[in-house]
Structures are given as C-alpha cells and as structure tokens.
Structure 1
C-alpha cells in the first residue's frame, strides 16, 4: 500500500519553477536552429533538461538536500558524456537528415536511461528512512511508471483545452490565441514542461490514485498472464514441426521474440509485487504461467540465434547492435526469473526482486556504453560493412552508401576511402553516389538561375528545350533541380512527343537515382508535371541508360491497359504494375 508523500509548499513550488526553467532552456536550445549542428551546446542542454527533470521532479523531497544535488550532478555528468560522444560522431560536415534523427533517437534512449536510474536514486535518497530497503525499488518503479502515464494524460487534456480555445477564436478571425498557443515555440516548451511538473506533483501527493491504478494493472495482468503463457508455449510446441528456419525468414523475428520475453518478465514482476499473495488461478493456469517463466531464457536465446543469422547474412547495423545488447540484457534477466521460479516450487507468484535489480542495472549500463567509445554502434556497423566489402563477401554495387552517409564521422571517412578505390569508382553510378555523399546538397532556397542549371545538366542530342521550360523549372517547380547540382551531368534532359500531338514534352532524368520526370506545356509559358518513372528496368544500368538517351534509342510503346469512358467522360485508371 502506498502512503502519500509529504511535500512542503516550497518543494511543490520548486518543482513547478523547475519545470518552467527547464522548458525555457529546452526552447533556447531549439530556438537557435542549430540543435544538430556540430558547434553548439544544444545537445548538452537538452540532455541536461531530460536528466534534471527526471531526477528533480520525481525524487526531490527537499531542494536543500546535498544528496539530491550530488546524484543530480552525477546523472548530468553521465548524460553529458553520452551527449559528447554523439556530438563527436555527428558533428559539422557529417550532419545529414538521418544523423539529425540519430540525435532525436539518442534523446529517447536518454529518457529510458533515466527511467532505469531514478528508482535507484530514490532508493539512495531514502536510506535515512526507517525500513527502507530494496523492496522500495518495486514501489518506486510502480510510482514512476504510473506517474509518467498520468502526467502524459493530463498533458494531453491540457493541450486539448488550449487547442479548442485557439480554434474557437480562430473561427471568428481572432488569431491571437492560435499564434500564442500553436505557433509560439517558447510557449509550447514552457507550458508543456510546467504542466508535466504540476502533474507529477499531483501524482506524488495523491498516491491513492496510484494505488487504484496499480490494482487495475494487477487485475489486467492476472487475466493476461495465462493467455500470454499459453501463446508462448504453443509457439514453442509448433517449432519442431515447422523448423527454426522459418524464424530467420522474417525480418522482425528477433524483435518479436524479445518483446514476448519482456512481456512475460513484466507480467511476472506485476504479479510478484501484487499485494495479493495468490492470483486465484486454477492448477492448469498456474502450471502454464510457471512453465513459461521457467523456459523464459529460451525465447531470448532463439531471438539471439535469429539475430546472429541476420548479422551473418547482412552484417552489423546500428539497429542490430542495439538489438544484440537488448537481447543480452533480457537473457541474463530471464535466467534470473527462471532460477527464481525453480526455487519457489509451490508458489503461484514468484519474488522477482533480484532479477528486477539486475535488469535495471544492466539496461542502464547497456544504454550508457552504447553511447560511448566502449560499444559504438556506428563504428561497429561501418567497420563490419567495409570489412565485408574488402573481403569480397559483398560486391561493390552492394556497398550501402546511404548507410555510410548516415553513419557520421566513421561513415564519412569510409566514403573518402572508397573515393580512392579505383575499382569502386570505375562505375559512373557509384562515382555519382560517392560525389553526392561528399558534396553537401545545395539549398534550394538559394538563388538557382537558368544558366547554372543548364551548366550542370546534359541535353540529349537533337533535343530542343524551350526557354520557358528552363524558367518554369527554376522559378516554379524547385522540387528536384537541386539534385542535379550533386554531380556533373547527373541529370539528362530530352524532348520527345509522348502523345502524338506534334508538340514535344520534356523528360528530365536523374541518372544516379534512376528516376525520370515528364513535363508538358500547359499554357503559353506554363508547364506542368504529367508523370514519373521511379525505377528503370534492372537490366538497364545507368551507363547504358545514358548512352541510349544520347543515341536516341527511345521508342514509344502504347499501353495495353486502357482508360474508361463513362457517359462520354473519361475515367483515368492507374493500373498497378502495368
């Protein structure tokens, strides 16, 4: 049974002010527009915001506690170490869109890292309390998990009210509230952080609500656990008949099995921390549940085997490195649950305190070392990929330039090494891809003139491209011309009559990306895009495609599948793969 925490008025106000301050800091880190650039401290500010919010809002009893500020500083230091490594990997010229996503991904992992650390911090801060012990970890996990869920729910309600407020007044042409609530980034960050802080205070001071929600989840687990155990055992029973090979044929097999193991562990933990000693299961359900807990490591071992096969086939990737660390953590914790179940022979529920402590420690440690030089997923992935290429396991055409381009500093260095590889650069398409990766994309917001576009494109022999088309592409379209700047003569242009009206249409092809766009004259000086071809036939490589266009080896083939005419009106049918 939870008992309400006694938070002084000053502590409650302090949590609210902390929320406002962290919201403003978050806004300042984003307001510069340089969150993902390599020469700012924005990533450190955001890492500190997440760490300080997790530790202070969930753990503080008194703001003048030396222990509190000591552990806050320690967690902030760990967060900054991880942020520094991410920044070093993805700084400056190595920044791409996927690298920007990697920063967001890191902040997500940092949230999980702090969620696993906060129960230990709360345990450390409660050492002066009588009767405090490891059992408080379970209490802290329940409290933190439900508090976060309720806080997000309260935040959603608050934002729904503001959205309704802004929308109602926007209907009558009063845009002030829309500009304040919806379009003001400073207000959004500050309001979100403040509401989360207030919601956390409410949850920490009204623990009867937490107790009621805990009882609900316990009841839900009591119903779902036998069902999940039956599904897991049925899956294992089917494996000998279908074979393990089917497991490796699915891309998400390891993730699915890991999720199954995690769900069994979570349900075992919920039942083990229930205030009721017996879950009122019959013997069949009890045996099902206990057997699923005993063989729990088997699911993670099968997941590890499936992941190993995938790595052997395709090599390492950042996602597979994270998956391997996750499976390792689940396997160790799973063995703990299994041994604990065997020891408690006649109990319906099992005390999983020791496996829970082990899981919290290992999970936090794995997240930390995967964002440091100890185990760097980007380094492992790039080195493994290049080793497969140099050993002949994969051909030059199978080298993933996109993966290297998005792998930060190490990937950029690997691309530079490939540029010096004469065999690799012998292909015009691979050469274009390397140049694309090493040359930053042109910002289409900059001035693009007809002269500069003509200088980086190749017009097929015999083609006459109207000046009106050049002007329209530069001034109106602006969708793809920037791609043409990423390599000399990367884009080819040809004029041809596609519909037999004796007026030429224009075909613009990106040879490296193997895509084409088609344009037709709409009005006097107005052109429009009339179609796309997103993939060339596999038998037609880039070099052959370029030579065919230059040699006018193009023919028009009528479509076999027709449109429909209904009562004199044409209905255009876009046939799939026709």
Structure 2
C-alpha cells in the first residue's frame, strides 16, 4: 500500500534523528521558558521587551508557533533540512509578527497577550499557513521533488491533522484532570494544589510538555494514527451524500424563488462560503489518497461528482452576494477576507469541475483524478493569499480604509453613513490616521450640520478605548467627561458644580449614560421648567430615547429628579431642545398614587409632527 510505504519512510526518517523524544522534551522546555518570560514582561507594569512593540509581537509569534514545527518535524525529516526549514519559518513568522505590531496603534502588552492566548486572528492565519507549508516542505524533502506523490501529501496532511486534534483533546483532558484534583483537595480545605496550577511558572511548562508528549506518543504509534484517521474519514465521508442532497435541493429551489430573501439575510456570503468549504472537505474525505478500493461505494462517488459540480453555483452565488455588499457599502475587513476565500474556492471549483468533465463516469478508475493537481496548486495559492493578507500588500485594514475614504471623497458615501468605529478599531494605523483627519475635514458638498456632526463624532471615537463599551474605560474626571458632552443651546456651558454632582451620582457609578466612555456624543440641554426656578439640565446619550433630568435645590446642590423619554429621530423636537424652545405644559391625564409610588400616564400617541 502507498500509505504503508510513506509510513515506513517516515519511521526511517525518525530513526535517523537521534533521541527524538529528548529533542521534543528540550524544545517544549525552551518554549515554556520563552513563553513564561514574555508573559512576565507583559504583566503590568510592562518591562522590556514588552515595551518595544516591534520586537515583542514577533517574539510571541515565533515562540508560540515555531516550536510546534520542530515537534512535528523531528520525527519526519533529518536534522539538516529540518534546521533549514525552521530557520526559514522563523524569519517568515517574525516578519509577519513585525507587521502585526506595526499596523496597530494600541499598547503592546494587550497585543502581545492576545497573541499569546491565541485570540488574535493573525496568529490563527499564520498557524494555518504553517500547517500547509510544513506538509509541502516535508513531503518535498522526503521525495526530493517539488510535487511529491499525492498519497504522500494525503498521508502527511491527515497525519498532522489527526495529531493536532488528538493533542488538543489530550491537553484539554489533562487540564480537566488537574482542575478535578484541585477541586477534590479543596473539599479537604487544602488549596495548595489549586494555587499551584494557577501560577504561570507551572501552567505554561505543564501545557508545553503535555503538547510535546501528545505529539510524540501519536508519532511513535502509527497504527493509532491510521486507525483514528480511517474512522474519521469513514464517518465524514457518509455525510457527503446528505450534504449533496441539501445543496442540490437549495440550488434547485432558486429558479422558483426570488434571490431577495437570500440577500436580505446579510450573511449569505458567509454561509455560502462555509457550504463550499464543507463540500470540498467531504469530497476529499471520500477521495482520500485516490486508491480505487477507498472510493468503491457508488453512493459516495455519485455524491462526490454532484458535489463537485454544485461548487460552481455555490461559489458564483457567494461572489455575487459579496459584490452586491461591496457595491452598497464598500470594502470592509471582513469583505476583503471573504474575497480571498472566494478566490481560493474559485480555483478549487475550477479544478474539481474540470476533474468531473475529464472523468464523467463516476465508476471509472480515474474518478476525479485531477483533484490531486488541484489540491496541490490550491495549497500554494492559499499560502500566497495568506502572505498577501498578513503583509501590507493586501492588508484588509489598509484596503478597507482606502476604499471607504475614496468613497467619502467621491461623494458616493455621505459623511453620516461613514462607520467611524470600524475605521478606528478595524482599520489599524490607517484607520486611526483617517479618523484623525476627519476631525477637521471639510468638503464643499457637506452641509454645516454634516460637517459639525462628523467632526464631533470623529473626536468622540478617537477618545474611546474600546468599541464594546468597556466600563473600565469610562471617564474618571469631570474634565475628561466634558470631552464627551455637547451643550445646548450652542455657546452655553454647564452650570458650576453640575459635572461633579453628575460624576458622583449612582447612575454614573453603575457605568451608565454619558460616563460610559463609549458614547459617540452626549447631549446636555439647558432648560427652564418654570420662570421662577433655576435652569435644569437634561442629559441624553445620543441615539437613545431615555434621558435624565437634573435640578439644583435651594442650596445649589444638583440632584437627579426625573426621567424623560425622548424621540431621537424627531428633528423638530431635537431642534427645539437645542435652541431651548420648550414650553412647560400641565399633564393631560392625572398621575396615580399606588402604595406611595407615583405613576405617570403616558399618552397613547406621541408622534413626531414630521
């Protein structure tokens, strides 16, 4: 069998590397030391190298990813080619890490720790690229040619995939056992074990050693890998007929239905891309290494043929949906990434459809044989696309900012429709620069209201530290809060003592209202409720209907005295409040007292005159 031969070749390569287990053990310990030192450097107060962004992020990415290549490669290829491949991979990963740091304008400890925890998308993309590249490099070294045999590619890729899955499960269970042990000791009031496993100096080495152990055990037990792989492929392959029926039913319904419901979902592109990726995955589960005995079941062959042909309309619909969104709203980071996915899927689709055309008989020995070349070429294309997305060549943030600003300058995008939050937090350093320029930008086509609104919104977005309304970033001083508040009528200032009282109120301490630090604009309306009373203040967060009424007592101390429900979409009401044009009016309906609580009846209809 071809697979058995490749396994034997791998075993011989492993024998030529002395002390594979010792090598993996040392790599795991070195990685643990590196990760621990980086984690300590990023702990507040940050120390070198966490204070040098262009150095820290590349170090995090290299120490997190490159040792995994050594763990896998130590049992696959000999020492010299492995060292050369690791050197090349280190340079590439470090370069990508440098760009990841240079493109961001936030503090490095946050960047570095997010990468260390694996939550940063760059780390995921780089890890996926390294998985593909390692397969291509290892197979090329073993067979000494640029395009190794497809059974070799199949064996290496699926072996690494199964190893990765089993390693993740092993490490998860490993930590589950540790926490179970800590819980058992806690029953006896012994907390030492729980405190021990929570220390970085224990947790990091324990994890890296567990990973190394899992990789080594799965590597020296080829029968385990073959059994797990055969079981997984058999199970997954039987999902292909089901998915083929579902996709054909979906595509067959389109001529009788309008496509409008599909476009209105706002996630059609994503869903179609996922369906195409799953089809390709299941087709490969059926095809495996191309051996006839592995694809002898007619149902799977027919499903693979139908699935390969169904890729064409699926990918075409995904491209169409993406084109409609780009035409309406321009490019975003997510749409640039989706375009890269669609480009890669288009190559897969062309190759798979051509494979069906070249071998139209599903029962023939050459069924989908062209799939092998397609997979090899597409793997290289995916690596090229990843390098483009992770470098300035096609950085999604740079492309998004350039497109949105071009649409704004061309007049196709009104300033009030510009997503400043996306520019600021998705556009990296390019978006930061763009929002800063918009704080003072002018255009003869804009009205005074559009210009003022854009300037105030840009200034508010630049102050924000988090797009998700983090309470920890709310203003802590009265002077800082004033940067969020716009006072009306124009030219007026807030009464003395009001801001301090507002900051000290329980409403603000709960992280609500204008003190959340995430509002694009907060409004303070100065109003006079009665001619003989001092002015009151209505505080409203822009875009929200609820507002708060503050009044001073006889001693001049401000208190929260009531709530209002405004209609933020009503222009006449907003203009009247801004200009102080309000008229005290008695209630149409009486208030009700119930258990000492005053209940106010709101009229059933309170529509905006517009």
The equivalent residue for 1:247 is 262
Aligned length in residues:
551
> What secondary structure, in the 3-state scheme, does the structure 1 residue paired with 2:524 have?
strand
Structure 2 residue aligned with 1:313: 328
Counterpart pick for 2:462 among 438, 462, 466 = 438
Partner of 1:89: 103
Alpha-carbon separation, structure 2, partners of 1:196 and 1:519? 59
Task: Tell me which of 81, 89, 96 is aligned to 1:75.
Answer: 89
Q: Which of 242, 248, 261 is the matching residue for 2:276?
A: 261
Aligned-pair distance for 1:415? Answer: 1.7
**What SS does the corresponding residue of 1:152 show, helix, strand or coil?**
helix
Match runs of 1:46-57 below 5 Å: 46-57=60-71
Quickly say closer, same or farther: Cα 1:100–1:519, change in 2 above 3 A: farther
CA contact (8 A) 1:26 1:46 kept: yes
Match of residue 252, structure 2, among 233, 237, 256: 237
Q: Is the 8 A contact 2:438 2:454 kept in 1?
A: no
Mapped to 2, the partners of 1:139 and 1:96 lie a distance apart of 39
Larger mean Cα displacement after TM superposition, 172-181 or 314-323:
172-181
Inter-partner Cα distance in structure 2 for 1:323 and 1:291: 25
Q: Distance in 2 between matches of 1:202 and 1:28?
A: 28
Per-residue CA distance 1:285-323 (angstroms, 9 max, x = gap)? 644431322342332122111111111111101111111
Q: Identify the match of residue 544 of structure 1 among 565, 575, 580.
A: 575
Quote the residue 1:569 is aligned against.
none
Match of 2:20 in 1: 11
Assess, with a 3 A threshold, how the Cα gap between structure 1 residues 139 and 40 changes in structure 2: closer, same or farther: same
Residue 360 (str. 1) matches residue 369 (str. 2): no
Is residue 350 of structure 1 aligned with residue 359 of structure 2? no
Matches within 5 A, 1:468-487: 470-472=503-505, 476-477=509-510, 483=516
What SS does the corresponding residue of 2:213 show, helix, strand or coil? helix
Matched, 1:115 2:131: yes
**CA-to-aligned-CA distance 1:352-408 (integer Å, 9 cap, x gap):** 321111121111111111111221211211111112112221211101111111212
Change (3 A) 1:371 1:170: same
Cα distance change on mapping 1:109 and 1:395 into 2, 3 Å: same
Shift of 1:190: 2.6
Whether the aligned pair in 1 keeps the contact of 2:332 and 2:400 (CA below 8 Å) is yes
What SS does the corresponding residue of 1:32 show, helix, strand or coil? helix
| 1:558 CA drift (Å) | 10
Whole-Å separation in 2 of the counterparts to 1:288 and 1:153: 31
Matches within 5 A, 1:197-212: 197-212=212-227
How many angstroms apart in 2 are the aligned matches of 1:517 and 1:451? 21
Matched, 1:135 2:151: yes
Match of residue 383, structure 1, among 391, 402, 407: 402
Contact map agreement 1:450 1:470 (CA 8 A) in 2 = yes
Question: Contact conserved, 1:26 with 1:45, CA < 8 A, in 2?
Answer: no
* 1:402 matched residue in structure 2: 421
The residue matched to 1:420 in structure 2 has which SS? coil
1:228 is matched with: 243
Q: Deviations over 1:270-292 (max 9, x none)?
A: 22225662545447x64443132
Q: Sort the Cα spacing of 1:264 and 1:456 in 2 relative to 1 into closer, same or farther, 3 A.
A: closer
CA contact (8 A) 1:460 1:493 kept: no
Structure 1 residues 186-230: Cα deviation after superposition (integer angstroms, max 9, x where no partner) = 433332222111111111111211111222123223421111111
8 Å CA contact 2:70–2:86 kept in 1: the answer is yes
> Residues 288 and 109 of structure 1: is their aligned pair in 2 closer, same or farther, counting only changes over 3 Å?
closer
Contact 2:58 2:96 in 1 (8 A): no
Give per-residue Cα distances to partners, 1:24-66, cap 9 Å, x unaligned.
Answer: 3233333333699763522101221244133211112389712
Asked if the contact 2:519–2:541 (Cα under 8 Å) also holds between the matched residues in 1, the reply is no
- Tell me the equivalent position of 2:437: 417
TM-score (norm 1): 0.80
Q: 3-state SS of the aligned residue for 2:394?
A: coil
How do residues 92-171 of structure 1 correspond to structure 2 at under 5 angstroms? 104-127=120-143, 133-171=149-187
Cα distance in 2 for residues equivalent to 1:95 and 1:515? 38
Distance 1:240 1:454, change over 3 A: closer
Q: Secondary structure at the match of 1:167?
A: helix
Equivalents in 1 of 2:27, 2:588: separation in Å?
Answer: 69
